[in-house]
Amino acid sequence: MGTGMDLTGNIPPEDLGIVPRAVQHIFDGIELRKREAQENGILPPVFEVTVTFVELYNENIFDLLNNGKDRTKITMYENPETNEIQLSGVKNLTVKSPEDLMEALRMGALNRTVGATNMNEQSSRSHAIFSIYLKQQRPVSNEYYRMSQRDFRVSITWQIFTVEVMPKRISQF
């Protein structure tokens, strides 16, 4: 793919492509923030990393993380509250490690639509979008919890980056 997606351990870290490096950077940052919180005597943040992988093929959108069993069309709409474009019916897969994330990317890539062209026998014939979402929650101290009798968590969700999986092209947002 040209992105250095192999995490088999046979490739020295300096030879890995941008995707494995970015994925490792995300998980290294999570561990660093947890460690810093513990060193400072505060409750560590709770992180959740989820991914989605969709394919645009013949003007339809398909979920690539559903193991290819159900090629149900995904619905796209604009959220009136946030004015963001959203997809309904897409599987959000929670990943716990760089290896889990790269495996989701690999499995989704295997579910892509391919067909022969005059130039390439395994042409993708589609566009694919792999998105990583990072949610951070910082628990409120136990003392504050007792005072309020409610469990408050501050939640921040980011879409880290979206990679359009195409040969030799990567878009980062």
CA 18 – CA 5 distance, rounded (Å): 8
Among positive and negative, which fits the CA dihedral 120, 121, 127, 132? Answer: negative
CA 56 – CA 74 distance, rounded (Å): 10
Going by the DSSP 8-state scheme, the letter that residue 12 receives in this structure is -
What is the pTM for the complete model shown? 0.70
**Is residue 8 domain-resident?**
no
Q: Quick one: pLDDT at residue 62? A: 86
Q: Which amino acid is at 115?
A: G
What's the CATH number where 145 sits? 3.40.850.10
**Is residue 172 domain-resident?**
no
Q: Quick one: pLDDT at residue 122? A: 52
How many folded domains does the chain comprise? 1
Residue 32: name the closest of 51, 50, 45 by CA: 45
Q: Which amino acid is at 47?
A: F
Quickly list DSSP for 88-117: ES---EEE-SHHHHHHHHHHHHHTS--B--
**Is residue 2 domain-resident?**
no
Q: Which domain holds residue 152?
A: 13-164
pLDDT digits (tens), the chain, 173 positions: 444 444 455 677 778 888 898 999 999 999 999 999 989 888 889 999 999 998 888 778 889 998 656 666 788 888 889 888 888 888 899 999 999 999 999 998 888 876 655 555 555 567 888 889 998 888 776 554 444 444 444 445 455 555 544 444 444 43
